[in-house]
Amino acid sequence: MPELDNRVKHLMYKGKPLVRENNIMCYGDMDDDYILFMMILSNKTMETPNGKKEEVPDMVLTQVLGREPGKPGHTKIVKQWTKNGLCDALDVGIVTLDRLNSKGE
């Protein structure tokens, strides 16, 4: 279960900040070389077990961005893909981030 970090008041997931505003999400440590950027492109309505209808992310554009200062934004994209569902996008993104960030150590 995600928890709030008392120092910065961001939602923490697997030890790194996960920040969302509207349909944009960013995940990762700003001290790392790469971060994850996700944009929810579409939503779908699902019914919960108690019969309530909820909007959930459907199609998610995911990008791994390098954090090189001074470079234009479009040149910072290292990898990009789309996934059905936020869980799939986040799972693949975290694996990719871990691999890329561990290369620099």
pTM: 0.79
Helix intervals (H) in 3-47: none
According to DSSP, the residues that pair with 53 across neighbouring strands are 47
Pick left, alpha or beta for residue 92 (phi over 0 → left; psi -120 to 50 → alpha; otherwise beta): alpha
d(CA 8, CA 82): 30
The answer to whether 42 touches 56, Cβ cutoff 8 Å, is: no
Note the pLDDT tens digit of each residue in 43-100.
999 998 999 999 999 999 999 999 877 777 777 899 999 999 999 999 999 999 999 9
The answer to whether 46 touches 58, Cβ cutoff 8 Å, is: no
d(CA 60, CA 58): 6
